[in-house]
Structure 1
Amino acid sequence: MSRTEEEWGHIARYLRHAANKIGPDLPLCLPGEPRECGQTAQQHVLLWASDLKARGHHLIEESAPSHDEAAYYAGPVYKDKLTLLRDSSERRSA
């Protein structure tokens, strides 16, 4: 996907904010990110999205009353949501 550095930066900030809402004790990136830590805004998006995905999965595991229910929400429900997002993205780009 083609985005400007500024657009990637906005997405990275949103992802970091979401991750901080789910899990405490997350360090905020340095002022002036992403350049101060040496990574691009797109790399920040990928890192924070990975962190958010892991935190979401962990939250499912901790919240589900059983292993089977956790597997259901982390598996079929997740895949259905992902399919809807991909379909929506394809319709917008067509």
Structure 2
Amino acid sequence: MKELELLQEKLQQLLKHHNAVQSDLDRLKKINEKQSALIEQQKTEIVKVQQELTLKSVAYSAGSMEGDKEKLKQHLDLVIREIEKNIESL
């Protein structure tokens, strides 16, 4: 009889331990789901920021190219005037 009571007691302890572990598992699964959702949200934000950075980089490059175009145009105008002067002198 005593052995049966001891066995029952151990079984009860195991069941309690199992329930505690199951509760921890459920809690950790919820935390994992929240973290996974946060990671996905952050990945989306990273993609948006990368796209924005790319667009700004292109816009900046285009803006600096506009300045370069103006300088190139001025230089070409100068060269054309010099060519015209040389043609006139011939």
Instruction: Please give the TM-score of this superposition, normalised by the length of structure 2.
Output: 0.28
Considering only CA atoms, is the larger Rg found in Structure 1 or Structure 2? Answer: 2
User: Relative CO higher for 1 or 2, CA cutoff 8 Å, sep ≥ 6?
Assistant: 1
Task: Name the structure where helix makes up a greater proportion of residues.
Answer: 2
